[in-house]
Copies of this chain bind each other. A is one copy, B any other.
Amino acid sequence: MAVTIQDVARAAGVSASTVSRALSSPEMVRPETRMRVRAVAESLGYRPNPAARGLITGRTTNLGVIVPDLTNPFFPSMLRGLQARAREAGHAVFLADCEEDGAAEAALVHAMAKQVDGVILCSSRMTPAMLEKVLGLVPMVFLNRVVPGHPSVIMDGAGGMRQTIDHLAALGHRHIAYLNGPRDSWSNRERAKGLRRAERHRIKVSRFGPFAPRFESGLQAADLVLASGATAVIAYNDVMALGVLARLAERGVPVPGRISVAGFDNITFAAMATPALTTVDLGGERAGRAAVDTLLAVLADRDADAPRQVLDSALIVRASTGPAPDAGPDRPNPGGTQGEA
């Protein structure tokens, strides 16, 4: 089988303890011995067994991550940052996809619990009741969701929404539509909160959904939006927004001529649509890194107050929002069209 610490000890003519120290606490061993042991370990291709080590130290240097849907490009990009940060910190990442299912998510937490030092739950789909049952199992950090008393990293969805509203208001829109994401999604609620900004501009808001955050939902929603008479639509995320764009193109509706479209997440493919999708970048990669940092902080000092990090947002404007059409059915043309994309 694999080479163990005993093999190294024998080959180097020292005890297992010394090998362990030579590798993990170099200063506790005489330079001479240290070198010899390390050389032997190297030549034998020795690698400590993390499971065995974890058993006694209580630390695995593994870290679990659960996402609701890997096929949503937002998560891979967030994972980019997360993995990079984890690797820097010497942690391997145990990743699982719960496919938008809270119960599956809970099961995954159980499965991971003993094999990781902590878990990062991205946009967790668990209900409060499910959460209750897994909260104590292992240190957890929530990304994109607030659970009172627990550390979380959140992106400023409400702020991003406010910026989008201001943007559309400046372009003269008087009636916009919002397409809700999944029913239990915390980040959907946050984004929806930002819609209140519309009052300040006397903008009418029509809400649709909840929808599964998928391309197909956007296809479906596009028709509803058109029927509502809104001149702009903001989707819960880019994947849905791309669905909207696709359906509008199919129906020959000019974008942004007749209607403007915006989404959230700044996924790569937002840039590839025709016209490119206007999207709000809330800083996914950065959030991934922040989640790891938060988790490591929690692990380093378990008594620390549960930190909550709020990351700022940025609005990326592309080409699929534009001035409201002059003769919008809902608008007696008061202020005018002073904005530019």
Could you tell me which A residues sit within 8 Å of B by CB distance? 2, 47, 49-52, 54-55, 60, 62, 70-71, 73, 76-77, 79-80, 83, 92-97, 108, 110-115, 137, 215, 242-243, 245-246, 249, 268-269, 271-274
Contact = CB atoms under 8 A, between A and B. Distances in A.
Given A51-B55, A215-B272, A62 B93 contact: no
Given A51-B52, A52-B55, A93-B95, 7 more contacts: A2-B113, A47-B110, A62-B115, A70-B79, A215-B268, A246-B271, A273-B274
Contacts of A108: 92
- The 5 A-B residue pairs whose C-beta atoms are closest, nearest first, are A51-B51, A70-B76, A95-B95, A71-B76, A49-B114
Nearest to A243: B272
A272 B274 CA distance: 9
Nearest to A80: B71
Contact of A96 (B80, B83, B115): B83
Copies in the complex: 2
Contacts of A73: 71, 73
A70 B284 CA distance: 14
20 contacts: A2-B113, A2-B114, A50-B114, A50-B115, A51-B51, A51-B54, A51-B60, A62-B115, A70-B76, A70-B79, A70-B80, A71-B76, A71-B77, A73-B73, A83-B97, A92-B96, A92-B111, A269-B269, A272-B273, A274-B274
Contact of A47 (B80, B113, B274): B113
A229 to B, nearest CB: 25
